[in-house]
Amino acid sequence: MPDVTLIDLSRYRLTKAAETLETAKRDMHAEDYASANNRAYYCIFHAMRAVIALDGEDYKKHSAVIARFTMNYLKPEILPREYGKLISNASLIRNRSDYEDFFICSIEDTQKLVKGAEDFLCAVYAYLQEKYDE
């Protein structure tokens, strides 16, 4: 059974992921698509960190979080491998939205990203509920 402090950290990060998803939805409805992309990505990012928290791991670089999550949870199909494409796409869109001048993400791509973040969060939530109960 994981250490209680790791469970608390994981739950905190899961809550943070849920909060950023709600912000992404609000931003999308307000037609602030760059912010919605950013928040959707951070929902995914915090959800990944909620999972790896139970392993007692954390990383400063986003790329390291993504790599560890992919290796430990997507490749062995603990969580569906298809989420790898979502994670890569979310990271790319977030970086481009945040740092590239004149980058405009389509409304459809933003909608897909926010929906994907929501689906990912639901999958992570279900997985973590089982882990918390162990």
CA–CA separation, 95 vs 89, rounded Å?
10
Q: Are 114 and 36 in contact (CB under 8 A)?
A: yes
Residue 4, pLDDT score: 66
pTM of the model: 0.94
For residue 134, count other CB atoms closer than 10 A to its CB.
8
Q: Are 50 and 7 in contact (CB under 8 A)?
A: no
Residue 2, pLDDT score: 57
Residue 134, pLDDT score: 76
Q: Over the range 113-131, which residues count as b (16 or more CB within 10 Å of their CB) and which as e?
A: bbebbbebbeebeebbeee
Comparing CA positions, the residue from 78, 85, 91 lying closest to residue 43 is 91
> Both tokens of residue 111?
């909608």
Residue 104, pLDDT score: 87
Comparing CA positions, the residue from 39, 14, 44 lying closest to residue 26 is 39
Q: Walk along the chain (134 residues) and give the pLDDT tens digit of each residue.
A: 555 689 999 999 999 999 999 999 999 999 999 999 999 999 999 999 999 999 999 998 999 999 999 999 999 999 999 999 999 999 999 999 889 888 888 999 999 999 999 999 999 999 999 988 87
Which residue do the tokens 């994907």 mark? 116
Q: How far from the centroid of its chain's Cα atoms is residue 35's Cα? A: 15
| Domain boundaries along the sequence of the chain | 4-133
What is the architecture, at CATH level 2, of domain 4-133? Up-down Bundle (1.20)
Residue 3, pLDDT score: 57
